[in-house]
Amino acid sequence: MSEPVTFRLLLTVLAAMLAIPAQAGPEEDREAFRAFFFKRFPDVPPDAYADGIYALDENARRQWEEIEEFPPYEFAVEQGEALFSQAFANGGRYADCFENDGIAVRQNYPRFDPQRGEVVTLELALNHCRTANGEEPYAYDSSELIALSAWMAWTSRGRKIAVSVPNDPRALAAYEEGKRFYYSKRGQLNFACSDCHVTSAGSWVRADHLSASLGHPTHFPVYRSKLGKMISLHSRIYGCIRDVRARPFPEQSVEYRNLEYFLTYMSNGLPANGPGARK
């Protein structure tokens, strides 16, 4: 074997070794995640996952479509628009805190903030905006904050979810933490998020149909009929964690923000379609 050939062979081997990632990156994860559901539910069109359980359940979908004719979240959207356009006491505006004046940016959240070194959700960004302008932050379950989030979601309808994990080890670590949370069994009942929403997605738990995690975060905040009010994504996650009999974390805890980061990255490419309506 001549020397250049040996050298080239060596290079090829090295390149092949480098091409095998020690750990799958976010993009490999996302592709595998999508592929899993596409294989499980071959008749469901990819974008339909943004509709949550209504992608999988024809009967429930019909009822939902009827609800959507008079959307129960409409009031929140209107309230949110009014709040959003109000100037703060110092003359500042929400619009000044966001790209594109805050219109059609929801699909980019949550995002990794390199200054803060952590994941910033839309709700957190709204409260940062308030405190930067000398206002008190809203409680995370306040109707005002949820209304602002509903309005911003409304302006992003139809945009593709586009969460990015920048080339920053802290961003990747946050993503990995969210991923670990998602796949870890917890609580007295010993359930992982993935047990119900990957492994058993599409199955029934008594009268409840288990939704796919692909598309979970695209439509929040949602109006929940059984509660008669709008709720945030974190409030929904809180309910799930409590139901597996684990002690829930508070809304906007670093745990839930990282989880949202992972979960929303998995839904990249799906249409943002918040706010939503759910049972």
Partner 1 sequence: MGIPYRLTSKHIAAGLALVLTTAAAGQAGADPASERRLESGKQLAMARDKGNCLACHAFDDGELPGNVGPPLMYMQQRFPDQAALYDQIWDATARNPDTMMPPFGKHGILTEEEIGLIVEYLHSL
Partner 2 sequence: MSPQRRAVLYGYVLAAGLAAVAPVRAAEPPAAPLDPGSVSERIQQAEAARRQAAGQGAEWLETGNLIESARREADQGNWEQAAALAERALRQGELAVAQARRESDAWQARVVR
Distance in Å from the first CA to the final CA of the chain:
70
Which of the listed partners (partner 2, partner 1, none) does 186 bind, with a CB threshold of 5 to 8 Å by partner kind?
partner 2
Task: Decide: is 227 part of the binding site for partner 1 (CB under 8 A).
Answer: no
Within the chain, what is the greatest distance between any pair of CA atoms?
A: 78
Applying CB under 8 A, the span of 63-71, 92-100, 162-170, 181-189 interacting with partner 2 comes to 181-189
Round to whole Å and give the CA distance between 65 and 146. 23
Interface stretch with partner 1, choices 62-70, 149-157, 158-166, 186-194 (CB under 8 A)? 186-194
Cα 193 to chain center, whole Å?
14
Please report how many Cα atoms fall inside a 13 Å half-sphere around the Cα of residue 159, on the Cβ side: 17
Spatial distance between the Cα atoms of 64 and 85, rounded to a whole number of angstroms: 31
Closest CA to 30 of 215, 245, 256, 227: 215
Q: With beta carbons less than 8 A apart as the criterion, state whether 148 and 274 touch.
A: no
Using the rule CB under 8 A, give the single segment among 27-35, 98-106, 138-146, 155-163 that binds partner 2: 27-35
Give strand pairing partners of 278: 224
Q: Is 172 in the site for partner 2 (CB under 8 A)?
A: no
- Supply 17's token pair: 């070794």
**Is 97 designated active site?**
no
Beta carbon of residue 226, minimum distance to partner 1 (angstroms, whole number): 16
Among 58, 115, 188, 226, binds partner 1 (CB under 8 A): 188
- Determine if 249 is a binding residue for partner 2 (CB under 8 A): yes
Name the residues that contact partner 2, by CB under 8 A. Answer: 24, 29, 32-33, 36, 179-181, 183-188, 190, 192, 194-195, 198-199, 242, 245-249, 255
Name the residues that contact partner 1, by CB under 8 A. Answer: 188-191, 195-196, 199-200, 203-208, 210
